[in-house]
A and B are shown apart, each in its own frame.
Chain A
Amino acid sequence: MLALVSPALLVILALIVLPVGWLAWQSIYHDGFTVENYRRVFTEDVYWRSFALTFEISLAVTVIALLLGYPVAYLANSVPKGWSILILSLVVLPFWTSVLVRAYAWLVLLQRSGVINQFLRYLDVISEPLALVHNTFGTVVATVHILLPFMVLPLYATMQKIPNDLMQAGASLGASPSLTFFRVFLPLSLPGVLAGCTMVFVLCLGFYITPELLGGGRTVMVSMLVSRNVELYNQFGAASAVAVVLLLSVLAIFFVVSRFISLDRVLGQK
């Protein structure tokens, strides 16, 4: 049996465990052990500002995705099966479109001469085109779009398991629909909320394509810090230290969340 897993395991060891280990090693060793790279990450302005910005954007993206995703999951859960399949297909549809293609679509929609600006000017809502892209706004709009399915699917999976009887019991005892929702349904859906939020937050922490293409060079998220240190400045040690801190943040979040809900749920494996 071990022989059967070994080819796959070997690929994983060689192409993800070894590379990540290499990063960790490179972050502390350069002609002798050094903490210089970590000192820079934690003291230099550029670095911690980028980390702060990344956490802020990830938080914003997570909250927005929750606010947009919860109603959709709720609706999909409360309509007849044919409709819920339709709603879920629409949610998953963009999922199977390349992230790059979707980033491009948002560029087309949001740029100064783009579809949304043209439309708003046609309606005479604005006279000058709005700066919708090449900034944090554009990054957030596109990132929420890409990560929203990761919010809706665990929410829906959790809502599916909430027995309908409970709501009827609440109603029969005289509670209004909104009271049954807030006192019964919402608390029972919290594991799904946690699962969805974790996945969206963690994926956003390491997001690269949308901030790079839609951030206009001003929204320097941690992933861009890593790539610039490698591609532009040849600062391999610093890049490695940033990557290690990012990875440790992600693992810490998974660890804390695993105290509350099963990680299988977060990773969408039921």
Chain B
Amino acid sequence: MMRASPARIALYVISALVLIYLILPVLIIAPISFSSARFLTFPPPSFSLRWYQQYFSNPAWMQATQVTLTVALLTVVIATPFGVAAAYAISQSKLRIMRLIHMALLLPLVVPIIITAVGIFFVYARIGLVATMPGLVLANVMLGLPYVVISVLAGLQSFDPAQEMVARSLGMNRLRSFFAVTLPQIKSSVVAGGIFAFISAMDETIVALFISGGQYQPLTKRMFTALRDEIDPTIAAISTLMTAASFMLVLLASARQKRSG
């Protein structure tokens, strides 16, 4: 009924402009990565895969890619079980201290990342973890934990703990009943949490800037350094691949969450 009012039309126009502002930068990268031009022109003069070739044939980029994938995978492998165990304990326990622990596990989302980064750098410098693989993985596990905890806690909310009680009353021990009864029902939120931890580790830049170095530099650190010097379209190719990877993972995670919904 108020569809035609000027206010309504203004609302549509403003919202459309804001949405364009939001997605334009995400969409602009891919065409540039497929352009043959050395300098950025839009629309691109002709189609070319040279920036992808440059990326795949450069040993430094390849090494960085390997570091990123290794760190992200190890982060998921460690942060997921840690986060699931913690979320389970938080949801089941009636201890008052659990509230405090729950808040502590969300700290990585609250403390400005630059502060975390510098703090970790100082600690690592003391114990010799700067520019090492374990140092990088540990930091990303910490940063990924909140995503797993939040996702699994949400999954546990719709789970009836009485079911586990039944399993235990039928003679299963707590561990077996968790794996046989609880875990299958919260599987989707566990997978989603793990995927978010993976994306978080893949995109993490600031902590890596401070604590990574030598042969253990992830993609984001090399990209950041490259961006400070010059705008190289190779970065557009890498960005396109990273964005595609993120989107596929998010689609996977949300498809899973919906199924559990």
Contact = CB atoms under 8 A, between A and B. Distances in A.
Interface stretch (A156-164, A183-191, A222-230): A222-230
A103 interface: yes
Interface string A4-39: 110111011111111110110010000000000000
Contact of B15 (A75, A105, A148): A75
A109 B205 contact: no
A94 B23 contact: yes
A198 B237 CA distance: 35
Contact of B40 (A7, A14, A108, A236): A108
A127 interface: no
What is the predominant secondary structure among interface residues of chain B facing chain A?
Answer: helix
Given A7-B85, A208-B206, A22 B112 contact: no
A225 to B, nearest CB: 10
A16 B142 contact: yes
Contacts, number: 240
B19 interface: yes
Interface string B110-131: 1111111011111100000000
Interface string A111-134: 101110010000000000000000
Given A7-B82, A72-B15, A100-B220, A19 B120 contact: yes
B108 A12 contact: yes
Contact of B2 (A98, A99, A105, A177): A177
Contacts of B14: 68, 71
Interface of A: 1-2, 4-5, 7-9, 11-20, 22-23, 26, 68-69, 71-72, 74-75, 87, 90-91, 93-94, 96-109, 111, 113-115, 118, 145, 148, 177-178, 202-203, 205-206, 208-209, 212-213, 223, 226-227, 230, 236, 239-240, 243, 246-247, 250, 254, 267, 269
Interface of B: 2, 5, 7, 11-12, 14-15, 18-19, 21-26, 28-29, 32, 39-42, 81-83, 85-86, 88-90, 92-93, 95, 97-98, 101, 104-116, 118-123, 138-139, 141-142, 145, 149-150, 199, 202-203, 205-206, 209-210, 220, 223-224, 227-228, 231, 235-236, 239, 242-243, 246-247, 250
8 contacts: A22-B119, A68-B14, A94-B23, A96-B246, A111-B40, A113-B40, A206-B112, A267-B109
